[in-house]
Amino acid sequence: MCIVGLPLAAGFGRLGCVAAGCCWGDAAYTLDLDGHFHSTIPLAIEFPKGALAYQSLITTVDSDVASAMKAAGHTAPLVPIQLIDALGEVGIFFTLMFVRSRKWFHGQVLLTYGLLYPIWRTVLEMFRGDGERGYLIPGVLSTSQFISLCVALASLIAIFVIRRRTLARSQVVVPPT
């Protein structure tokens, strides 16, 4: 019963990531000849000097971008991955509410979350810019993506196995005594 609220809690947690400037997205800008940033997507986000994103990026970006960041006093425009994740979590919440009202077996809502969130996380990882989180295959498969794919696969298998058992039990006819 409690699993339905988990995506909402995670969504609020991602708003905290925006406030802290962590878990940032990929670069979403061009740099003109005058050293000014121009966002390449709507709603790109910039973090101030005190944010973790700024502190990390200032040491890892090339010197032109670092100079522009120092002059601007904030990071280059970045994909607002935390906000996108928060919206996705709300979508997962509504999906779980729907599944809960029509579930076939106990545990289906948990397993549905165990399938949906890892898939969502795997997609989001492709747009994250904080490489410190680690990679199994550099630039291709992050640690989070690997774990997410394993959890999603295990959840999918469990859904099929439990659903099959539930159907088999419901088709057993008990003779009258």
Residue where the block lists tokens 């969130």: 117
Closest CA to 92 of 1, 6, 2: 6
User: What is the Cα–Cα distance from 176 to 162, expressed in whole angstroms?
Assistant: 27
- E strand or H helix at 136, and its extent? strand 135-137
pTM (2 decimals)? 0.85
Closest CA to 56 of 124, 133, 136, 135: 133
Q: List pLDDT tens digits, range 1-48.
A: 789 999 999 999 999 999 999 889 999 999 999 989 999 999 999 999
Report the mean per-residue pLDDT for the chain: 91
Region 65-70: what's the mean pLDDT? Answer: 95
User: Would you say 113 and 83 are in contact if contact means Cβ atoms under 8 Å apart?
Assistant: no
**Structural tokens at position 173:** 């006819």
pLDDT at position 172, please? 61
**Structural tokens at position 119:** 């898939």
Q: List pLDDT tens digits, range 72-109.
A: 999 999 999 999 999 999 999 999 999 999 998 999 99
Question: Which residues, other chains included, contact 133 with Cβ-Cβ below 8 Å and sequence gap of 6+?
Answer: 142, 143, 144
Question: Looking at the chain, how many residues does it have?
Answer: 177
